[in-house]
Amino acid sequence: MFYHGDAQHSTLALTDASANVLERYRYEAFGLPSIFDSIFSPLSSSLYGVRHLFQGREWLAEVKLNDHRYRHYSPEMQRWLIRDPIHEVGGINLYKAFRNAPGFYIDPFGQSVGMPNGYIDAGGNWVSLPVENALSCSRRVANEMQANYKYPMPDDNHSQLHCMTACTISQECPGGALTSVVVGILKEIFCTNNANYGWDHDSWVDIHANTLGQIASFTSQSCDCACTGKTYSSSWWNNTFLEPLTPACS
């Protein structure tokens, strides 16, 4: 049998010697696995005893924990079970895992956050992260948000879309909110629909919405919920909000 994984070493499929798919594996945002047969019918457990799932680490199904050697991670609680061994040096949240972006970062030993391509980011410093990775991630997020945006856009500036994109970039991309701020400004300077490049009224509206998204990325809500209703009328400087586009989020 053969394992097939992604860039984070998460197991996605199991095949036999003839390349026939035996099982498939999918993960929620914080790594909780689901197991399926070859035609995506759900299974309660692996029929082949597959244990190494999210990020290639052993999944302890009985207690729903990932074994990362030095610490155990709970995808349901979205945190480590024990405190950071380096204490506040790693940040004030001693139980935070993967910088709250487990879809991008890895931590094979439960001791230091890294990137799948080998660039270590244990200190969370921007200079330790390749700029091209940050820009590539931002471009991917922006394209996905544009393609999958499911709400009506009553305002010409698409402020809620800007808010959600900025929030998602802050949460998922290297550099976090700093990346979101920089790419948001560069976009308004070089990618405006204006005949003349540079700042105009729409640019300020977009930056305002981006800022709300960057602030929202630090809340406990999803970007979708945190940016609900963050669309403005043309008199945005008077803080005139349009009606929320989505139901209130808890």
- Sketch the domain layout of the chain as residue ranges: 2-100, 130-238
Handedness of CA 219, 119, 141, 125 (dihedral sign): positive
Burial class of residue 211, CB neighbours in 10 A (0-12, 13-18, 19+): middle
The DSSP letter of residue 74 is E
Pick the closest to residue 34 from 58, 12, 19, 55 (CA basis): 12
Measured between alpha carbons, how far is 112 from 107 in angstroms, rounded to an integer?
Answer: 6
Q: What is the pLDDT of residue 59?
A: 97
Q: Per-residue confidence of the chain (250 residues) as pLDDT tens digits?
A: 999 988 788 999 999 999 999 999 999 989 999 999 999 999 999 999 999 999 999 999 999 999 999 999 999 999 999 998 878 766 788 999 988 888 878 888 888 777 665 444 444 433 344 565 677 778 888 888 777 766 555 444 577 788 888 888 888 777 788 888 888 888 877 765 544 445 556 777 788 888 888 887 887 777 777 776 654 444 433 444 444 434 445 4
Q: What is the pLDDT of residue 131?
A: 61
Q: What is the pLDDT of residue 232?
A: 46
Q: What is the pLDDT of residue 192?
A: 52
Q: What is the pLDDT of residue 26?
A: 94
Q: What is the pLDDT of residue 135?
A: 75
Q: Is 53 left (phi over 0), alpha (psi -120 to 50) or beta?
A: alpha
